[in-house]
Structures are given as C-alpha cells and as structure tokens.
Amino acid sequence: MPIKYYNKTNLFHMFNNEISYLFTILENGQLGQLYFGKRVNDKEDYQYLSERGHRDMQACPIGDNPYFSLEHIRQEYPAYGNGDMRYPAYEIETSDGSRIVNFTYKNHTVFAGKKELTGLPATYVEHDEEAVTLEITLEDELINSTIVLSYTIYEERPVIARHARFHCDNNQGISLETAMSMCLDLPDKEYNMLYLAGAWSRERHVCERNLEYGTQAIYSMRGCSSHQFNPYLVLKRKNTNEQAGEAIGFNFIYSGDFLGQIEVDNFNVVRILMGIHPNEFRWKLNKGESFTTPEVVMVYSDKGLGGLSLAYHNLFKDCLIRGYWKEKERPVLINNWEATYFDFNEEKILQLAKAAAETGIELFVLDDGWFGTRNDSTSSLGDWYPNLEKLPEGITGLSRKINDLGLKFGLWFEPEMVNENSELFQKHPEWVFGDRRRHLSKARGQYVLDFSKEEVVEYVYQMIKKVLSEASVSYIKWDLNRAFSEVFSNDRGKEYQGKARHKYILGTYSLYERLRKDFPEILFESCASGGARFDAGMLYYAPQAWASDNTDAVERIKIQYGSSMVYPICSIGSHVSAIPNEQVFRKESLSMRANVACFGTFGYELDITKLQADEIQVIKKQVQFMKKFRKLIQFGDFYRLRSPFEQDYNTAAWIVVSGDKKEAVFAYYRILQRPESSYDKIRLWGIDEETEYLVEEIRDSVLEAEKLTSYKHYGSELIHIGISVSDYSSGMKHIAKEIQGDYLSRIYYLKAEK
C-alpha cells in the first residue's frame, strides 16, 4: 500500500514509484505539510522537514512556545485563528459571528480505490488496485463539526487528487465562507508561475511570471471557468523546459467560479490555494448537513512541462473522460454555423450535407437557429422545439434525411439560457437569475436560467429529451454564450443566495448526467462562446470541447498549443473554416488550415457548396488523412517541440507518438516567409532513439512533377540533431506554391522500419 502512517512520528507518507507526499500531525493537533515532489525513501521520521525558528512576537498556539508559530510552519489545510496570518484554505462563521476555529486530527482511514464525488465531476478508477485513498477526519469539538480531507494517490501516475468534505453537527449550524479544495505550502519560491489566459477568440495563451511577495492569482467570477483564465496553474523551476526539469500542476475539476492563488510570504514560503472562488460563496450547513468541495488534481513532473502534460493527458483520457466515446476516434464533422449563421432552411442544410457526404465527412452538425422562431440572437432560447418554417419536417425529418445521405446527425443546444422573447420566459420570468426589482443586463440578447432550481433543470430536460427521443441525434453541441452578471435566485430567501452559483453548476452537471444516461451513445461537445468552459469538469460529461470561435490557423496554433498544456488532443474541438477568416480576416491555404485543425477532433465549418472542384479534391484527401491517422493523433503521446509564444512568433512544431513508439506524426508551421532565412532544425522528442524511421512528408495536394521528401533516420538523429525545416523557397518561383509564401505547414509521418 503506498499510503503509510507512522504512529510514533505522526507521519503520513503517500508514495508510488514517482512521487512522495508527506505531512504530519503537529503538536497542536493540526496538520503540517512536509513535502511534495519526486519520490523519497519511505521511512519513519521526516520531522526535520518541519523547521522551527525562534519567532518572538508571533502568536503562540501552544503556551508561550516561541518556536511553534503557525505563521511560520507549513500547513496542510489552514484556517483563521491560532496565528497563521496567511490566506486560509477555509473560513467558517458560527452563529455568534466567531470565525475562530480549531480543527484537529481525530482519525484516519486508508482504502483501496477512490469514491465518487456525488453530483460532481472527478477522476475515477476502474479497478480498486489503481489507486489508494486516505481520508483524514479533523474535528472542532467546540462547534461540533468535522472536515474530512481526502487524498487519492494513483499507483502508476504522478498524481494526487484532493478534496474536502465539511460536516456540521452543531444545533445552530455553521456557515462556510470559504471552502478551497486544497492547500499546498512549499518551502521556497524559486518557481515561475505558468497559467493559461486570454479572451474570447484568443483563449488559453501560455503566460509565465516570476513569483513575487504577496499574492498572485487566476480566477473566474463569471459563472463559468471563462475565456480569461483556465482553472489550471503550474509552478515550474526556472530552468524547466518542455523536456526536463521540475514542475507541479494544479487542475481544478470544476466548471464555475474558481480561484487559484499563490501567496509568497516574507520567508519565501509559497502557499497554493485552489477551489471555488470565495467571493459570492457562502454555504450554510445546518445540523446533519455536509458540503463537498470539487476536486483538485495535483501532478508532479521531473520530466519538464512535456512530462507534466503527458501525465494530465493520460489521466484525463483514462480516468476522467467516460462512456461510449472514451476511447473512440472522433467523427469528422461539418458544422453549418459559419456557412449560414441563422439564415438557412432545410434545402440549404441538405445541400451542405450532400456535398459534405461526397468528401467522406461523417457527421453533419446543425448549429444555432433551428428552434422556436429564432432568426437572430434576440429570440427563442428556451423553446426547444423545431422551427417548422425553416425545417418543415422538424428535426426528426431532417435527421432522417441526413442519415439517408450517409451522415450522422448532430444538433446544437444552449440549455442554460433564455431570451426574453421566448415562450419559456413569458411563462416563467422568475426562472431567470437576477433581482426583478432592478435592471437585469442582457448579454448577447439573453438571460441566464436559474439552474440552481431543480424545477428549471427538469423543464429543460423534458424539452431536450423529447427532441432527442424523436429524432436520430448522434452528437450534441452544448453551448453557453454569456457570463453571469446579476446572480440572484428569486423566491429562495437570503440564506440560499450564497449557494446559488455552485448549485447552478450542480444543476448543469445533473442535466448532463441525465442526458448521458438516457442517450449513452451521443457524443457531447461542450462549448461556451468558443472556449469559455474548456475545463476538466466538463470533460467528465462531454469528452470534447470547442476550443475557440477563432478558427484562423495562425491563431489556432497558439490556442491549441496552450490547451495541450493540460487537455488531451482528443478533447480539442478544431475545424477548418473559410477564408478570409471571420475573426482575423487572414487568408491561409486550405492545407495550412487543415494541418492545424487535424491536431484535435477535426471538422469543417464553411459553405462547402461554394468551394471549387480542386478544393473539394483537397478536402477529400484531408478527410482520408484524418481517418487514417486520427487514432494516433487523438490518442497518442503528444509533445510540444517549438512554442508559438516565444518572442518573434514565426514557427511552431509538435509531434504525436504512438504508445509503442513505432509511429509518429510531426507537424511544423511557419507563419511568414522571410528572405534568406537561416538554416533551421527541429529536434524531435518522444520517439525511440534506437529505432530507424522512414520519414515521409504528407501533403493533401501534390503537383505531378513533384516528389515528396522521404528519408530514413534513426530516432537518435532526429532527437539529437533534428529534422531540417530550413526555408529555401524565397526567390525561387519554380517551387510549388504550397511550399512557399506565408502560412506554410508541413506534416511528416514517421514509421519504424522493420
């Protein structure tokens, strides 16, 4: 069992072959953090890690002992009271207004496997042998309440999953004001903080900063995980790169408001807190009630950021994504949004679908505008029945006709929203979040339905279920197109309001869960104005997520590169769209657009009926390529080779390698043609040094006179010397247009020679 408790030294040691996590019961009964990192030997005494200096002037929780100051001791799950002046992991207010608590060790249990977190997404095990869980109960006798801290260590992964459960047996109840999912106190500050930040259409850009004294944070108070910050933080040593060096990742398995905060105290101790954002959160627990925080997954890597990402990708593919689509290659789809927006009828849709079917595309997705009287964004959200003017035989008839063309059929919903101009709103104006005595802001013409209320979720569930039961739907795109601005749950009273935002997310999860159970073979893709809810919480329900409304290839390299920091390639929704691009008006070749989009779930989002015959031929080749390589690309081991976030972004590269290292697909992108550029090589990674590979360039259009590059190299050459990506084409007019000029991309297939 890799979780040990040493009675004599009060030491807990969780370990496997890769990592160790050590903490102790302090003299005052609270828990002290000792170490998280590379595996160290298992032994009874690690007390020396809890260093004590003589600290006069500090609060002394034990007598007058100046050596025992909680301000200076690294802690496991700290609270206010007893002298710790840093931000606490939780805050509780009792009925008399006191916020001083003293939860001390009561007992613990260790068991094989991992429990579900009821109503919440969380990592899981398929067999109990895959992980061991430690639950420690802390108790504050004065307020008759307990906290259970749960830690699961996976046997063969550098992963610890954590959450906390609060329970109240106090007659007056207690109020949770802050309930973070985890805290980690690290002994030094020689790290950089890496995080994913952005905005609509430039989500998840990789950012890095030094740690400074005081606090630095990522957060969302928008009701969803947000375009602005992803709920993921990394602490990396300053010299850590993609292939080497230490890094610790913290991912919050949750889709609502969050806070990821790093506090550096004046003794260089670093405190990481992650959990539900305390702003607007207040959860009253009455006698007999409990509250469970969502889960945080901590991963340690000594193999650089690449090793960290790989551990997260594997964890999310194996132990978070569930169900029918878990290991299945994702269908190549076409979506009508950028082709038609709201302006379509059945005839137009069938024309698109017919042209798509002829290229080998497998799934047609009907986006926004098929329901109620929706012809723009001002009406009908909430009225989930087909617009018979546009679709005379409804979704049932249309889906049958699409199936007859040899395509599966997918459908867009935005279940959590409502327009004022809708039957739903007219019937139930009180089902909207907001104080009805005040102005209520619309965003994109819509309001947020109060999904904290079961009756609202039930109503929407029944409408969606009816459509899905009658039609032949294989895929759902589940959208959410606004942030929450005035959250107030009508008719629920004061105490409820601090719960409303979290209960909303639980309502969303419950609707997902019911629909998943009713229609287990439907592939769900989550979406939120592009990538505002691209988080691990969603992946538990929807195995893929629309990465961004920005489908420009140059921008997508950055977005997909950033997303790959933590999320697996099979989860990254990516499409080829028309030129000029709708977001940045750039014009890139069809090849460049597909060579970026194929590192994801892959599909098209353009009016295919308007393309020329030669473009259709190219699309056919691209679809063939994707079908041949998608298993490898979506489920292989992904490594980033060159970052688009380095100064002077002009090139980027990545590779995906099969588990047995016998195959790989390598992609290189060059944005602008530069005159007389220097020689350039990209060193590959992840392949086997001793294997000889046949390296072949793959292109979707090849001129007759042209011969594509193909050569043999040992893995060691490709890793240590690299593959040449030198740009010889400037000023050479006879070179094929596909390999000259701006926005160039190259894809190579590597196959082990026998």
Task: Tell me the DSSP string of 203-241.
Answer: --EEEEEE--SEEEEEEE-SSSS-SSEEEEEEEEETT--
Nearer to ligand DGJ, 467 or 725 (CB): 467
**450 is an active site residue:** no
Q: Is 80 in the site for ligand DGJ (CB under 6 A)?
A: no
Region from 161-169, 451-459, 524-532, 719-727 binding ligand DGJ, contact rule CB under 6 A: 524-532
37-42 long-range contacts (CB < 8 A, ≥24 apart) are 37/246, 37/248, 37/300, 38/246, 38/300, 38/302, 39/15, 40/15, 42/4, 42/13, 42/15
Among 304, 530, 537, 568, interactor with ligand DGJ by CB under 6 A: 530
Nearer to ligand DGJ, 310 or 597 (CB): 597
Query: Are residues 214 and 265 in contact, defined by beta-carbon separation less than 8 angstroms?
Result: no
Closest approach, Cβ 646 to ligand DGJ, in A, equals 29
13 has which bridge partners? 4, 22
Q: Is 304 in the site for ligand DGJ (CB under 6 A)?
A: no
Which among 274, 273, 271, 298 has a CA at the least distance from the CA of 191? 271
Measure the CA–CA gap between 245 and 237, rounded to whole angstroms: 7
Q: Which residue is nearest to ligand DGJ (CB)?
A: 368
Closest approach, Cβ 529 to ligand DGJ, in A, equals 5
Q: Is 412 in the site for ligand DGJ (CB under 6 A)?
A: yes
* String of contacts with ligand DGJ for each residue 307-346, x by CB under 6 A: ------------------------------x---------
Region from 84-92, 157-165, 345-353, 526-534 binding ligand DGJ, contact rule CB under 6 A: 526-534
Query: DSSP class of residue 469?
Result: H
Query: Are residues 78 and 84 in contact, defined by beta-carbon separation less than 8 angstroms?
Result: yes
Number of residues that bind ligand DGJ (CB under 6 A): 11
Closest approach, Cβ 340 to ligand DGJ, in A, equals 11
Closest approach, Cβ 627 to ligand DGJ, in A, equals 24
Among 479, 525, 535, 727, interactor with ligand DGJ by CB under 6 A: 479
How many C-beta atoms surround the C-beta of residue 117 within 10 A?
20
Task: Tell me the DSSP string of 58-103.
Answer: S--SSTT-TT--TTTS-BSS-BSSTT--S--SEEEEETTS------
Q: Is 481 in the site for ligand DGJ (CB under 6 A)?
A: yes
Closest approach, Cβ 555 to ligand DGJ, in A, equals 14
Among 344, 364, 425, 546, interactor with ligand DGJ by CB under 6 A: 546
Task: Tell me the DSSP string of 45-56.
Answer: --GGGS-----T
Closest approach, Cβ 551 to ligand DGJ, in A, equals 9
**479 is an active site residue:** yes
Q: Is 416 in the site for ligand DGJ (CB under 6 A)?
A: no
Region from 19-27, 174-182, 527-535, 556-564 binding ligand DGJ, contact rule CB under 6 A: 527-535
Measure the CA–CA gap between 297 and 629, rounded to whole angstroms: 30
* String of contacts with ligand DGJ for each residue 250-269, x by CB under 6 A: --------------------
Largest interatomic CA distance in the chain: 88
Measure the CA–CA gap between 368 and 404, rounded to whole angstroms: 22
Query: Are residues 145 and 168 in contact, defined by beta-carbon separation less than 8 angstroms?
Result: yes
Measure the CA–CA gap between 178 and 283, rounded to whole angstroms: 9
Closest approach, Cβ 197 to ligand DGJ, in A, equals 19
Q: Tell me which of 140, 302, 368, 479 is the catalytic residue.
A: 479
Nearer to ligand DGJ, 114 or 477 (CB): 477
Measure the CA–CA gap between 296 and 709, rounded to whole angstroms: 46
Q: Is 367 in the site for ligand DGJ (CB under 6 A)?
A: yes
Q: Is 529 in the site for ligand DGJ (CB under 6 A)?
A: yes
Take residue 504 and report the two structure tokens written for it. Answer: 């909303």
Taking CB under 6 A as the criterion, which residues in 372-401 touch ligand DGJ? none
Closest approach, Cβ 746 to ligand DGJ, in A, equals 29
Residue 129, judged by CB atoms within 10 A of its CB (0-12, 13-18, 19+), counts as exposed
Region from 457-465, 523-531, 633-641, 652-660 binding ligand DGJ, contact rule CB under 6 A: 523-531
Query: Are residues 261 and 277 in contact, defined by beta-carbon separation less than 8 angstroms?
Result: no
Interface positions with ligand DGJ (CB under 6 A): 337, 367-368, 412, 479, 481, 527, 529-530, 546, 549
The set of catalytic residues is 479, 549
